[in-house]
Amino acid sequence: MGAHHDHHHHDHDHAHDHGHDHAAEMRSAPARALGIAFALTATFMIVEAVGGVVSNSLALLSDAGHMLSDAGALALALAAQRMAERPRTRERTFGFRRAETLAALANAAALAASAVLVVVEAMRRFATPQPIEGGWMLVVATVGLAVNLVCAWVLSRGRTTANVNVRAALAHVLADAAGSVAAMAAGAAVIWLGWTWADAASSLLIAILIAIASWRLVRAATRVLMEAAPAGLDVHALERTIRETRGVADMHDLHAWRIEEGFDAVTVHVVLVPGAHGVEVASEVSSRIHEVHGIQHVTVQPEAPSRESELVPVSALTRRASKP
């Protein structure tokens, strides 16, 4: 039979416009937060790099390198935010929404690369210990912790953490904050205990923190790119919601995936009970999915249960109309 396509019963144009207004509102706050975090990170990165050279501290230099990757990550995130706001085209029917996920994946790659570099240099320093200026190290690391905490506060305010790029940037900043604490501890150990090896040891700890943050971002981004069901969505519960809707006899080809953070989609074919009206059932299924699972972008294709159904195939109507 000819398939009937239906979206959310709720006025789709209104829902679409409201969704775009909401999306624009959701994106402006993350963009501001990312901009502030970028300015703070880029500025202190220079200070920390100078401090690392003056004190000969690998912990500070590795953290400065980490902050360089942070600054690059934030710049990528800002660019992705701008791209995601661009309107869709005939070729890109979802627009550039996945740009945010791709940027998060690039951020994770930068983190992983910096972790490897830190481990290599730390091993070299263990083999060949070098003198460290613990005082400089402690002061710069303390200021770095303060800057990272301010950045974390800016990025975690309000609903900005619903954005994958803000979460990616926040992961960078928190790893940096932990790295600053490790550098502070190493600086204190160098000053009061003379343990110059503590610098290389704290660098290894920073590398581990960076690697963990990188893995989490890769896992989240690849889940979206592989179009797995959205995190937190119970697919079995979604199926029950559809089957329990009035007028639905059966269902198949259920798909649920995430386009970007805050934009999930569902498509499904439903087999109608005899006598059911396809448009009404499709609208009811869409409404139920929205109410129970919070997903607005729903496409439902109703199908006749059998040839004996009261529904008449479009092809049959066409043949009848063509007869003299």
Whether residue 37 is predicted with pLDDT greater than 70 in this model: the reply is: yes
| Residue 112 and residue 162 in one domain | yes
Residue pair 167/50 in contact by the 8 Å Cβ criterion: no
Instruction: Find all residues with CB under 8 Å of 30, minimum gap 6, and list them.
Output: 81, 160, 163, 165, 166
Residue 124 lies in a domain: yes
**Pairing between strand 263-272 and 297-303?**
parallel
Convert the pLDDT of each residue in 238-295 to its tens digit.
Answer: 999 999 999 999 999 999 998 877 789 999 999 999 888 889 999 999 999 999 999 9
Confidence of residue 20 (pLDDT cuts 50, 70, 90): very low
SS3 for 129-197, per residue?
Answer: CCCCCHHHHHHHHHHHHHHHHHHHHHHHCCCHHHCHHHHHHHHHHHHHHHHHHHHHHHHHHHHHHCCCH
| Residue 86 and residue 221 in one domain | yes
Mean pLDDT of 174-195: 85
Domain count, the chain: 2
Residue 135 lies in a domain: yes
Residue 316 lies in a domain: no
Whether residue 4 is predicted with pLDDT greater than 80 in this model: the reply is: no
Q: State how far the Cα of 87 lies from the Cα of 93, in Å rounded to an integer.
A: 9
Residue 212 lies in a domain: yes
| Residue 293 and residue 209 in one domain | no
Q: Is 271 exposed, middle or buried (0-12, 13-18, 19+ CB in 10 A)?
A: middle
Q: What are phi and psi of 306, to 5 degrees?
A: -165, 175
**What integer pLDDT is reported at residue 306 of this predicted model?**
67
Q: What is the enclosing helix (H) or strand (E) of 300?
A: strand 297-303
| CATH number assigned to the domain comprising residue 295 | 3.30.70.1350
| Residue 134 and residue 241 in one domain | no
**Pairing between strand 248-260 and 297-303?**
unpaired
Residue pair 281/270 in contact by the 8 Å Cβ criterion: yes
Residue given tokens 């627009």 in the structure block: 95
| Residue 139 and residue 164 in one domain | yes
| CATH number assigned to the domain comprising residue 203 | 1.20.1510.10
Whether residue 71 is predicted with pLDDT greater than 90 in this model: the reply is: no
Whether residue 176 is predicted with pLDDT greater than 90 in this model: the reply is: no
| Residue 158 and residue 186 in one domain | yes
**What integer pLDDT is reported at residue 49 of this predicted model?**
86
| Residue 222 and residue 78 in one domain | yes
| Residue 35 and residue 106 in one domain | yes
Token pair for residue 24? Answer: 């624009």
Residue pair 285/245 in contact by the 8 Å Cβ criterion: yes
Mean pLDDT of 15-22: 41
List residues bridging with 300 in a β-sheet: 6, 268
Residue 5 lies in a domain: no
| Residue 134 and residue 255 in one domain | no
Q: How much of the chain, in percent, has pLDDT values that exceed 70?
A: 82
Enclosing domain of residue 282: 235-303
Convert the pLDDT of each residue in 104-146 to its tens digit.
Answer: 788 788 888 888 988 988 898 888 877 888 888 888 889 889 9
Whether residue 23 is predicted with pLDDT greater than 60 in this model: the reply is: no
Residue 218 lies in a domain: yes
